[in-house]
Chain A
Amino acid sequence: MSRNSIRDTFFEECEELLEALVEGLSSMEQDPDDMDVVNAVFRAVHSIKGGAGAFALDRLVSFAHTFETVMDKVRSQELKVTEPLMHLFHRSGDQLADLVEAARDEREPNAESEAAILKELDGYLGEADKDESFSFDAVTLDFGAAPVEIAEDGDADGEEAALRSFHIRFKPSPALYANGHEPLLLFDALAELGELRATADLSGLPEFDAFDPNGAVLAWTLRLETSEPETVLHEIFEFVESLCELDIREHDGLKPSPLAPPPDLPGLAPPPAPLDFDEPAAASDAAELRADAQRGEARGPRPTLRVDLERVDRLINTVGELIINQAMISQRIEELELPAVAHLTNELEAYKLLARDIQEGVMAIRAQPVKPLFQRMSRIVREAAEATGKKARLVTVGDSTEVDKTVIERLADPLTHMVRNAVDHGLEKSDVRAAAGKEAIGTIRLSASHRSGSVFIEIGDDGAGLNRARILEKAIEKGLVLPEAELSESEIDNLLFLPGFSTASEVSNLSGRGVGMDVVKNAVAALGGRVSIASSPGAGTTFTIVLPLTLAVMDGFVISVADQTMVIPIASIIETIRPSQRDLHAVGTKGVVILVRGAYVPVVDVAFNLGLASARKEAGEGVLLLVSTESQGLTALRVEAIHDQRQVVIKSLESNYAAIPGVSAATILGDGKIALILDPEEVVKLQPAAPYFPAITPPKLELHHA
């Protein structure tokens, strides 16, 4: 394992620890007296510090140390958790994340905020804590049985508690080293708890020529005098317990008897009396370990495997090809028109199901809960609230909802932007809220859910709602709307998505970066999703993002449009209608509506809208697909025929060409030909645009990272 990959692993673990930290801090806010949570937060900071020490990231180490020292005071109940302290912890967490990121990208962290936070943290520390000399010297391990004596400088905390003596027998397995753990760091952590004596047991060392550098032969016997309870010792070994043989016993007058004596090396101090580990004890240890392991399964995190994303993607692509290949084989066999062969049909069906199972399994590998993404937003809310002088809190719902990893990654920017907007434009200042009889603290609500084959992500605020008069005024001012245009409320709301639209009457340092909601819309559209707005005056605004579950496959109807085979997502179709002439009515010279359960629904000719047919066919021909669009509600799409329903592999058109209006992607059919996948929403919009909606080519804007 190269140093670099260990370093990568460290940063990956940091990500997880930071997530745990943010999560712990928000739980702490709910219940500051829950010691388990406080311990979890402390552990997260502590683990980051430990890892950073191994990579000599001094700045990170010293910040984490100060942070954890304050946290420790909360743990030992010397400090009460107050609102300002909680706020400081949040900011410290953000700063820690920044330091980790800086260390990873090898750039300079934000020294200004670091200094400010350190100063505040120091304010919570007594003199005794600060005097604690603190250094992380790299110690080289000699291959000798020298007892490493690590005594700690006077730690003023907990001196009154009775000292207890623990004996620890620790034998790492090769996996412990392979995972990048380092016994020395564990011993350092132990040494922080009290007086530690460590003795290495070299009896496992083989002859030199039989030495396996990847093996693990060393074991240690440690003796620790500390006032801490045994659980704290277990916490130190928490991450390695499954990777070593570990036995911790409190020494209460047990007669220690020697274990295999270490080889007598000259010039060494005699080892401390080791503990007796006789066979029966070992057997019971094993039983205990097993029991531990079982308990661990019940409560600990489930074992995971880190896999290079490229491998998964290769697999996904191959599986996609497999699905296409399966469709081809089915089609070829059908073309052979063999005499009825039931077993062949059965086997083909089984093949199809297997291929689908594999595909679903592979897709599930990429699916991840949105939780980390949502948690990141709490920082955005805090920072945005601070920058605008407002009070805001974040509430998340459904953060266990799983979404494709790529979707999560590509959602981060638009979501950040929208959350910032919600605080900046959505929420009112506390005094205004109070005057309106609302709670002084505004709430930003993030929710995720699966509904009808799509992922719904909502960003809501309980602010003043959209100021429609102001939006319209602004749009007219910017020449986006004709002054005499009559717009419905939802049309006004949708003006926000026009390029170059910004409504903040005072440009705060958050907005005014020249990035509008149009960029958000484009980013979401690039994921095959849509954004919509719902707002009610005085009660707030909610943006809803609807996304496909995965970016790689979908269930579609294979249809004919102007003699071309195309695919339309089943998820978007409410029902299919064979129109009868009596239900069809002409409106004006071009429009046709159909009566569906007492409501008139506009009929849209797909071929005509795509420019593939020069004239509209009789509306009564073909099949109508009833879809619900955001721009014009229920609409019936007219196509020539529906052939088949099948799962198709989505292939991007944009990777080699550009986006085509009305077409979301392409797929490859069983005969190797390409079929276009239609986006009903866009197909409907291809009708002659309304006068107030000038043709604007979307500018090539990128979302800025603030």
Chain B
Amino acid sequence: MLDANEGPTETQFEFITFSAGNQSFCLEIMQIREIRRWTPVTKLPHTPDDVLGVMNLRGAVIPIFDLSARFGLGVTPDNERNVVIVAAANGTTIGLLVESVSEILSVAKSSIQETPDMKSDAARQAILGVISVGDSMVRVVNLDAVLDQEGGAAA
């Protein structure tokens, strides 16, 4: 994983980049289980707006989040290219609705920069770092933070 105090090894990390709320993000490829077309989900009562509902993934019930809404970037508009990225961390599997998936990015650890200081704490927590690609910036999504903010009392 992305550990700030690892040795100066130049291992290559692979990321899948995608766009959500007109910004580009990426997730480490090891955390991604699959990428699916959007299919209608079952809504859940009394849940925040970024929780779209639950979907059947080969017999398991997984929640689908609107990543853009989760990061406060507005609801993802309906679009032919919308996809659900199924990701897993710490034994929990979730789906993230994003606008579109772009490419696979392979970078050395050293080219992942710290998140610039920003006022919004929520945004900072959700992002592990940034990678500059050409003249654009890709934000590395902190999946744990996405999972943690689920709210609800886990009994």
Contact = CB atoms under 8 A, between A and B. Distances in A.
Nearest to A660: B44
A698 B46 contact: no
Contact of B59 (A653, A660, A668, A698): A668
B153 A658 contact: yes
20 contacts: A320-B59, A321-B59, A611-B45, A611-B46, A652-B61, A654-B154, A655-B60, A656-B60, A656-B61, A657-B54, A662-B46, A663-B45, A666-B54, A666-B61, A668-B56, A668-B61, A672-B56, A674-B42, A675-B42, A676-B42
Given A522-B155, A674-B56, A656 B44 contact: no
Nearest to B57: A656
B50 to A, nearest CB: 12
Contact of B153 (A564, A659, A668, A676): A659
A88 interface: no
Interface string B38-69: 00111111110001001110011111000000
Nearest to B51: A657
Given A655-B92, A658-B153, 7 more contacts: A653-B61, A654-B154, A655-B61, A656-B92, A657-B62, A673-B56, A676-B42
Given A668-B59, A674-B55, A610 B45 contact: yes
Contacts of B54: 653, 657, 666, 674
How large, as a class, is the contact surface on chain B?
20 to 34
Interface in B29-44: 40-44
Interface string A598-630: 000000000000111000000000000000000
Nearest to A699: B153
B138 interface: no
B152 interface: yes
Given A611-B46, A672-B56, A657 B153 contact: no
Interface in B56-96: 56, 59-63, 92-94
Contacts of B152: 657-660
B144 interface: no
A317 B45 CA distance: 27
A661 B44 CA distance: 10
Contacts of A697: 153
B45 A651 contact: no
A525 interface: yes
Contacts of A3: none
A356 B39 CA distance: 30
B151 interface: yes
A309 interface: no
A311 interface: no
Nearest to A669: B56
Contact of B42 (A654, A658, A673): A673
B95 to A, nearest CB: 9
A526 B43 CA distance: 22
Contacts of B150: 657-658
Most chain A CB within 10 A, of B44, B62, B150, B152, is at B44
Range class of the A interface residue count:
35 or more
A676 B56 contact: no
B83 to A, nearest CB: 19
A697 B151 CA distance: 11
A363 B62 CA distance: 25
A352 B92 CA distance: 33
Interface of A: 317, 320-321, 324, 522-523, 525-526, 564, 610-612, 651-663, 666, 668, 672-676, 686, 697-698, 700
Contacts of B56: 668, 672-674
B45 A660 contact: yes
A673 B46 CA distance: 20
Given A651-B59, A656-B93, A698 B42 contact: no
A320 B59 CA distance: 9
Contacts of A676: 42, 44-45
A320 B92 CA distance: 21
B46 A660 contact: yes
A395 to B, nearest CB: 31
Interface in B1-46: 40-46
Contacts of A317: 59
Nearest to B43: A564
B150 to A, nearest CB: 5
A526 B54 CA distance: 20
B46 A657 contact: no
Contact of A698 (B43, B51, B94, B153): B153
A324 B56 CA distance: 12
Given A564-B43, A666-B54, A676-B44, A659 B154 contact: yes
B155 A659 contact: yes
B63 A656 contact: yes
A463 to B, nearest CB: 29
Contacts of B63: 653, 656-657
Can you list the 10 inter-chain pairs with the closest CB atoms, starting with the nearest? Answer: A658-B152, A610-B45, A657-B63, A674-B42, A651-B61, A522-B155, A666-B61, A526-B155, A698-B153, A656-B62
Nearest to A668: B56
Given A674-B55, A674-B56, A610 B46 contact: yes
Most chain B C-beta atoms within 10 Å of own C-beta, residue among A526, A674, A698: A674
A700 B151 CA distance: 12
Contacts of A661: 45-46
A564 B44 CA distance: 10
Contacts of B47: 660
Contacts of B51: 657
Nearest to A526: B155
A674 B61 contact: yes
Contacts of B43: 564, 612
Give the residue among A525, A526, A657, A675 with the most B Cβ atoms within 10 A.
A657
A564 B155 contact: no
Contacts of A525: 155
A597 to B, nearest CB: 32
A673 B42 CA distance: 7
Given A610-B46, A612-B45, A656 B59 contact: no
Contacts of A666: 42, 54, 61
Interface string B141-155: 000000000111111
A371 to B, nearest CB: 28
Contacts of A651: 59-61
A668 B47 CA distance: 20
Contacts of A654: 154-155
A612 B24 CA distance: 33
A652 B60 CA distance: 8
Nearest to B95: A656
Contacts of B42: 564, 666, 673-676
Contacts of B92: 655-656
A522 B155 CA distance: 6
B94 to A, nearest CB: 6
A8 to B, nearest CB: 25
A556 B41 CA distance: 21
Contacts of A657: 44, 51, 54, 61-63, 94, 150, 152
Contacts of A658: 150-154
Interface centre among B46, B59, B61, B152 (most CB of A within 10 A): B61
A697 B43 CA distance: 23
A306 to B, nearest CB: 27
Contacts of B94: 656-657
Contacts of A523: 155
A464 to B, nearest CB: 32
Nearest to A697: B153
A664 to B, nearest CB: 12
A659 B152 CA distance: 6
A508 B154 CA distance: 30
Contacts of A675: 42
